[in-house]
Chains A and B, each alone.
Chain A
Amino acid sequence: MAFDTLPTPSTSYSTPSAGSPRRRQVLLVVLILVSVFLMSQWAREGDSGVLHRIQGALSSAVSPISSLGARSETVSDAASTALSDATASDERLSSLQEENEALKEQVAELSESEAQSERLTALLDIDSLYNLESVGATIINRTTDSYNRTVTIDKGTSDGLSVGMVVMCANGLVGQILSIGSSSATVRLITDEQSGVSAMLQSSRVEGVVSGSLEGMLYLEYIPTSDAVGVGDVIVTSGIGGVYPKGIVIGTVASVSGSSSDLYHTIVVEPISAVSSYEEVLVLTGSQTEVTTPTLEQLDAVGSSTTTDATASDSASDNTTSAAASDNTTNATTTQNTSGTTSGTGN
């Protein structure tokens, strides 16, 4: 690759592409106006508008490239191994060492297969636990900017998916399909700042909204201070709005704050599913309005087989266990009886 430099002008610093100051300013103003027009059009048109469709189509078109990013860690590991092998001298590499390396590779491959098998089994378990109609999908990429918490999955309209469908991982709610192409879809996570899920406390049935935030925390909002909330209380979807089926476990109450003069509690939610730990998800394709809420022990059993690294998940498990001990209302079959809205701003 030749990064050859251009010749330096000897007499003048201006270049043909620089343009006159007036011309440059006019161009800047024009580009700003075009951008503002595009933004207003994007905000007004809704999910079926031209710009949203172009966005969906282009996201779908680049998804094969994006999926390379998901494999980059494996590739970099392989590259470093290859590099260390290449730099070692032949004398030092005996046949036993080679055999050892080959065996190590086999063990690594088998471990990977075992882990994948466990994850897929967990998804099947969650499918039967909640009695869901669903399609399995693999996460192929994650958000590319600081303001959106989204993931891209490898299933799209050709697999029967559509915008608005609910996405779950092995032990809880993940989010909702935001935009879709023929072979991929973008999922807005519940931790996204613009996400809002109508939810309720499982024990007291008090309803609120679970919202994401820029700092990455989940909050349960609009729970009046007159209602008692305890750390470890289980939060499930309320089904209001008809977007999320009623009864899916979202998480547990991690902390409650606020004074008696406040109108609402400030409740931090510990999500039961740490999406960063998962590679496979389920997209709910049926029109279920109710699910059978499993016990937290059941969810814990499913989650513990797949979650290995997340500290947050560990603390969530601790919370859920203590909550389960004090709460005898789990495993209740719930039915939807109301409708309203759940989506956050910009949806």
Chain B
Amino acid sequence: MRRLSSTALAVTIVICLLLQLLVAPHVTILGVTPLFIMIPVLLLGMGHGPLAGCLAGFSIGLLHDLVGSGPVGAMALSLAVAGYVAGALLDGEARQSDEFTFVAIPLLASVALEEVIYGVLLLLMGLGASVVAVFGYRILPGILYTGIVSLVGLALLHRFATSSQRRMMNRSSHLH
């Protein structure tokens, strides 16, 4: 999984926050809204390790909670755990690899964990729906939708980072 520079990371975070705020409400399918903010959390977790993933997840999740209407802290907790797990599941060798295929399983596991934790937290906080309804109508479709969005988002970023590095290497070889 390619790592991005801090500038590129900051740009990615801002873009994903804007996507969540502006685009997500308009691409809801059967009541399920994709979680674009999962992308920078996964990016940091897989690229920089569990600590970065955990901190990024907490910060971005808290921001999402504060501009939304749900319970404050719920998204922060679920994204912090997801970011941590994303980093922990991708070992050091895979983290430095150019292969993108290593990413799929940790990505889906993290997305699934985030959706389950958030759904369970809302149930514990008094969401009046049944466990079956929450899993059937929100968690499982949410895993699928956010999983696909995250996979596509990370693949695009990975490809972009790889081509950028190639360009830089070509430029430096020309200079020598």
Q: Does A304 contact B (CB under 8 A)?
A: no
Given contacts A5-B2, A18-B48, contact A214 B31 (CB under 8 A): yes
Given contacts A24-B51, A73-B26, contact A43 B71 (CB under 8 A): yes
| B25, A69: Cβ atoms closer than 8 Å | yes
For chain B, the count of residues having a C-beta within 8 Å of the partner chain is 73
Residues of A within 8 A of B71 (CB): 39, 42-43
Q: Chain A contact residues: over half helix, strand or loop, or mixed? A: mixed
Pick from A69, A146, A179: contact of B22, CB under 8 Å: A69
How distant is B81 from chain A, measured CB to nearest CB, in Å? 7
Given contacts A31-B77, A147-B127, A214-B134, contact A39 B18 (CB under 8 A): no
Pick from B22, B31, B50, B84: contact of A66, CB under 8 Å: B22
Residues of B within 8 A of A87 (CB): none
Residues of B within 8 A of A102 (CB): none
Q: Which residue of B lies closest to A9 (CB)?
A: B96
Which residues, 48 to 94 on B, are CB-close (under 8 Å) to A?
A: 48-52, 54-55, 58, 62, 64-77, 80-81, 84, 91-93
Residues of A within 8 A of B137 (CB): 214-215
Q: Does A14 contact B (CB under 8 A)?
A: yes
Distance between Cα atoms of A147 and B125 in the complex (Å): 12
| B72, A144: Cβ atoms closer than 8 Å | no
How distant is A43 from chain B, measured CB to nearest CB, in Å? 6
Q: Does B8 contact A (CB under 8 A)?
A: yes
Given contacts A27-B54, A214-B133, contact A55 B72 (CB under 8 A): yes
Pick from A4, A54, A150, A194: contact of B8, CB under 8 Å: A4
Distance between Cα atoms of A6 and B43 in the complex (Å): 14
| B129, A69: Cβ atoms closer than 8 Å | no
- A169-209 CB contact bits vs B (8 Å, 1 = yes)? 00000000011000000101000011000000000000000
| B51, A147: Cβ atoms closer than 8 Å | no
Given contacts A68-B22, A69-B23, A215-B133, contact A4 B168 (CB under 8 A): yes
Pick from B7, B8, B31, B51: contact of A215, CB under 8 Å: B31
| A28, B54: Cβ atoms closer than 8 Å | yes
How distant is A214 from chain B, measured CB to nearest CB, in Å? 4
How distant is B83 from chain A, measured CB to nearest CB, in Å? 9
Q: Which residue of B lies closest to A59 (CB)?
A: B67
- A4-46 CB contact bits vs B (8 Å, 1 = yes)? 1110110001110111000110011001101111110111000
Residues of A within 8 A of B55 (CB): 27, 31
Residues of B within 8 A of A38 (CB): 62, 65, 72-73, 76
How distant is B50 from chain A, measured CB to nearest CB, in Å? 5
| B133, A65: Cβ atoms closer than 8 Å | no
| A3, B164: Cβ atoms closer than 8 Å | yes
Q: Which residue of A lies closest to B9 (CB)?
A: A3
Residues of B within 8 A of A68 (CB): 22
| A3, B70: Cβ atoms closer than 8 Å | no
Q: Which residue of A lies closest to B34 (CB)?
A: A146
Distance between Cα atoms of A325 and B143 in the complex (Å): 46
| B164, A2: Cβ atoms closer than 8 Å | yes
| B23, A72: Cβ atoms closer than 8 Å | yes
Given contacts A3-B164, A345-B127, contact A39 B5 (CB under 8 A): no
Residues of A within 8 A of B138 (CB): 146-147, 214
| A42, B67: Cβ atoms closer than 8 Å | no
Distance between Cα atoms of A66 and B165 in the complex (Å): 35
Residues of A within 8 A of B51 (CB): 17-19, 23-24, 27
| B69, A62: Cβ atoms closer than 8 Å | no
In the A-B complex, the 6 residue pairs with the closest CB atoms: A13-B92, A38-B73, A35-B77, A69-B22, A18-B49, A39-B73
6 contacts between A and B (CB under 8 A): A14-B92, A19-B49, A28-B50, A193-B127, A214-B133, A346-B127
A residues apposed to B, CB below 8 Å = 1-6, 8-9, 13-15, 17-19, 23-24, 27-28, 31-32, 34-39, 41-43, 51, 54-55, 58-59, 62, 65-66, 68-69, 72-73, 141-150, 178-179, 186, 188, 193-194, 211, 213-216, 344-346
